[in-house]
Amino acid sequence: KTNPDWWRGAVIYQVYPRSFQDTNGDGIGDLPGITARLPHIADLGVDAIWLSPFFTSPMADMGYDVSDYCDVDPMFGTLADFDTMLAEAHRLGLKIIIDQVISHTSDQHPWFKESRASRNNARADWYVWADAKPDGTAPNNWLSIFGGPAWEWDGVRRQYYLHNFLGSQPDLNFHNPDVQEAVLDTVRFWLERGVDGFRLDTVNYYFHDKELRDNPPLGLGDDGPGLDAPDVNPYGMQSHLYDKTQPENIGFLKRFRALLEDYDDRTAVGEVGDGGRSLKTLAAYVSGGDKLHMCYTFDLLGPDFTASHIKHCVSSFQESVTDGWVCWAFSNHDVQRHVTRFIQNESERERIGKLAISVLASVRGSICLYQGEELALPEAELELHELRDPYGIRFWPAFKGRDGCRTPMPWEHEGQSGGFSTGQPWLPVPDVHKAIAVDVQDADPGSVLAHYRATLAFRKAHAELFDGGMTFLDTNQDILIFTREKAGAKLLFVFNLRRGPQSVTLPKGMTIAEALSLPGFDTARLENGEIVLEALDAFCGRVSG
């Protein structure tokens, strides 16, 4: 192993393949498109790419419903295209993390086709099958995140099967060791191909309660619906004690990690959305150095961009998970784009976009960026007839779904699809996105894109930032103050998240040896022991002694 710890403090850029770059005019992004655009990602100064699914799939959930784990969907290209992309990424110094969606398969996966064919075939027990109650209703009260019961009746087996997501995404039965073995085989396939790591989709959904106990109603210790389900979804009214997050998962994660350890420098980051119990689950999954390398939390994916919220999330993680690494993100392909969540009006969009990445790049942990956030793209506004996300279609208009953050990357300000495709793009490219396309921002040294590059370069230049310690100082609701320290060196960070100027007095006994200019923020200054900040401003200084 040459660099087994590369993931600690890494900056990971999430690519949503459907919407990155189309090369054959079918309006859908593809692997050759990603290869062509790798220089854009490398120029940002990130360490790795997380690729959302590109595997063979009927695309009922945009590829999060896999029918062949060991092949590329023709829509995205071929295995040879994947190899080319991987080699080119490595040549540019970028690692590749792929998305393993193994909690469930597509109902078109051969395993499920066989499993559903009878009650006594070789794979009969590979999925979660259960008899109806005597009155014919579902085995228990579990609900699907995408709406309705988590059970679907199968007329051939005359039994119900479990699906935490769509009916066409049946849950694998991880209690069956053969299933674990088969899943690990698919992981081995990609390890052999040379990928650097895995993002484990819904990692806390692998195991369900074997006794199929009913979930209780939402109770004490629950945070409410959370991001797992918007308020309009009855899923949010239950406490999910039994349909996910069962203790048996620990054993499986150890097997998974042991497999990764057979190879050099590989990593696993698990997506853990577990409502109010999230920190406990995170701690269980990342501690000990023998399970996941990192957990991906939902904490910063909500509407709150206040100092108190960020301090609460980061410090409670540090207190509860003393022995484990986290990956933070403000945006991904499942949530509204963060500038839209955080701004009060359009005039502050760029400023908030810049401030947010400066904050994210300074907290302890690895970070995930989502394609387009480096342009401060706002959420796209779509009409019902344009939607493709089954979750959005189901709950429209109370919840508009996830397509508003999935529209294609605007590369150029001209053309119908902003350089994304020569054909009709699968989702429209809004005019407001084209106006702030990559080519426009490339030409502007004051752009958000330029700010991302400078900020990530600053992070790279200061080792305190990727794995240094982090200590919060007393603060009010709108001002975030912390130090990052490593090997005797210490940096002080002050972020003013208020829409008005603020000053803070340096903590007693602290002196600043040197004010470092944090990219993009040259108004903040040190004056007679006070740090004076403008609205939405940031300061960084080297602490002496």
Residues noted as catalytic: 201, 271
How far apart are the C-alpha atoms of 305 and 464, rounded to whole Å? 24
28 binds, among Ca ion, ligand TEU, none (CB under 5 to 8 A by kind): Ca ion
**Among residues 38, 132, 227, 283, the one that binds ligand TEU under rule CB under 6 A:** 227
Binding mask 388-427 for ligand TEU (x = CB under 6 A): --------------x-------------------------
In what helix (H) or strand (E) does residue 81 lie, and over which residues does it extend?
helix 79-91
**Among residues 98, 143, 145, 494, the one that binds ligand TEU under rule CB under 6 A:** 145
We find the least distance from the C-beta atom of residue 319 to ligand TEU, in angstroms, to be: 24
How far apart are the C-alpha atoms of 196 and 306, rounded to whole Å? 35
Name the token pair of 187: 């992981």
Nearest to 341 by CA among 332, 296, 358, 367: 332
We find the least distance from the C-beta atom of residue 89 to ligand TEU, in angstroms, to be: 22
Nearest to 383 by CA among 362, 363, 404, 364: 404
30 binds, among ligand TEU, Ca ion, none (CB under 5 to 8 A by kind): Ca ion
* 485, burial (CB in 10 Å: exposed 0-12, middle 13-18, buried 19+): middle
User: Token match 């150890």: residue?
Assistant: 254
Binding mask 314-333 for ligand TEU (x = CB under 6 A): -------------------x
227 binds, among Ca ion, ligand TEU, none (CB under 5 to 8 A by kind): ligand TEU
Residues that bind Ca ion (CB under 5 A): 22, 24, 26, 28, 30
| Pair 490, 483: CB distance under 8 Å | yes
User: Token match 């009409």: residue?
Assistant: 383
**Among residues 22, 47, 196, 334, the one that binds ligand TEU under rule CB under 6 A:** 334
Helices 177-193 and 79-91, axial angle in degrees (round to 10):
60
| Pair 451, 357: CB distance under 8 Å | yes
Q: Is 295 in the site for ligand TEU (CB under 6 A)?
A: no
How far apart are the C-alpha atoms of 199 and 50, rounded to whole Å? 7
Binding mask 160-199 for ligand TEU (x = CB under 6 A): -----x----------------------------------
CA 61 remoteness from chain centre: 16
DSSP of 508-538 = TT--EEEEE--TT--S-EEETTEEEE-TTEE
We find the least distance from the C-beta atom of residue 145 to ligand TEU, in angstroms, to be: 4
Whether residue 410 is preceded by a cis peptide bond, meaning omega within 30 degrees of 0, is no
**Among residues 66, 94, 101, 268, the one that binds ligand TEU under rule CB under 6 A:** 101
Q: Is 268 in the site for ligand TEU (CB under 6 A)?
A: no
Give the CA distances from residue 335 to residues 177, 178, 238, in Å, rounded to whole numbers and listed in that order.
34, 35, 21
Q: Is 243 in the site for ligand TEU (CB under 6 A)?
A: no
**Among residues 171, 196, 201, 374, the one that binds ligand TEU under rule CB under 6 A:** 201
Residue number with CB closer to ligand TEU (196 or 274): 274
How far apart are the C-alpha atoms of 326 and 336, rounded to whole Å? 22
Q: Is 228 in the site for ligand TEU (CB under 6 A)?
A: yes
Residue number with CB closer to Ca ion (22 or 171): 22
Residue number with CB closer to ligand TEU (256 or 458): 256
Name the token pair of 246: 């069962």
How far apart are the C-alpha atoms of 183 and 186, rounded to whole Å? 5
How far apart are the C-alpha atoms of 191 and 453, rounded to whole Å? 30
We find the least distance from the C-beta atom of residue 270 to ligand TEU, in angstroms, to be: 11
We find the least distance from the C-beta atom of residue 87 to ligand TEU, in angstroms, to be: 27
Give the CA distances from residue 57 to residues 70, 114, 121, 333, in Å, rounded to whole numbers and listed in that order.
11, 17, 24, 18
Interstrand relation of 11-15 and 366-370 (parallel, antiparallel or unpaired): parallel
Q: Is 232 in the site for ligand TEU (CB under 6 A)?
A: no
Residue number with CB closer to ligand TEU (334 or 350): 334
We find the least distance from the C-beta atom of residue 44 to Ca ion, in angstroms, to be: 23
165 binds, among ligand TEU, Ca ion, none (CB under 5 to 8 A by kind): ligand TEU
Residue number with CB closer to Ca ion (273 or 408): 408
**Among residues 22, 30, 47, 61, the one that binds ligand TEU under rule CB under 6 A:** 61
Residue number with CB closer to ligand TEU (272 or 286): 272
Which residues of the chain form contacts with ligand TEU (CB under 6 A)? Answer: 61, 64, 101, 145, 165, 201-202, 227-228, 273, 333-334, 402
